[in-house]
Amino acid sequence: MSKIGLFVGSQTGKTEAAAEEIQTELGGDDVVTIHKIEDAENSDFEKYDNIIIGCPTWDIGELQADWDGYFEELDSIDFSGKKVAYFGTGDQQGYPDNFMDAIGIIEAKISELGGTTVGQWPKTEEYEFNESKALKNGKFIGLALDDDNQSELTEQRIKTWVAQIKPEFGV
């Protein structure tokens, strides 16, 4: 079994494409198993001590539809002892008042349920936004990707973030 479970929801395919790049950078499907949240069950989360959550911010600071439908199910999962990293996609120029809110919403719930957040992204100066629920102590709680405005930075951001989370996950 792989060491990391990556749970992703994707409306337009950008977040799913990022999930696949992250999986490749971490060593492929021997290391990371991707689960589409629309097909996931609570028992899927229980298989892993290392979890990655991928969710785009949709509409005005909302969860992507599949994550929105699964969100209450998270209450039934014990995240104690689990390390959880987050990444999201969003549009900092179109939605500067809620950039990356979705991963902030999910991270707050999983932290309440005992999950330990890893993979904070400190490079907030690379973005132009006003507010974000994903911002804590001057850092994003996870990797922030903006393929609408900064697609040329996505590949390197993923490589940098994966290099950061590898030791946090013991990979």
Pairing of strands 62-63, 57-58: antiparallel
pLDDT of 59: 85
Mean confidence (pLDDT) of the chain? 95
Tell me: pLDDT of 46 over 90.
yes
How confident is the model over 47-70, as a mean pLDDT?
93
pLDDT of 5: 97
The proportion of the chain whose per-residue pLDDT surpasses 70, expressed as a percent, equals: 99
Predicted confidence (pLDDT) per residue in 1-43, tens digit? 469 999 999 988 899 999 999 999 999 999 999 999 999 999 9
How many residues are listed for the chain in this entry? Answer: 171
In what helix (H) or strand (E) does residue 5 lie, and over which residues does it extend? strand 4-8
**In which band, very low, low, confident or very high, does the pLDDT at 144 lie, cut at 50, 70 and 90?**
very high
Q: What is the distance between the alpha carbons of residues 138 and 13, in angstroms, rounded to a whole number? A: 29
Between these two residues, 11 and 80, which has the higher pLDDT value? 80
Label each residue of 14-25 as H, E or C. HHHHHHHHHHHH
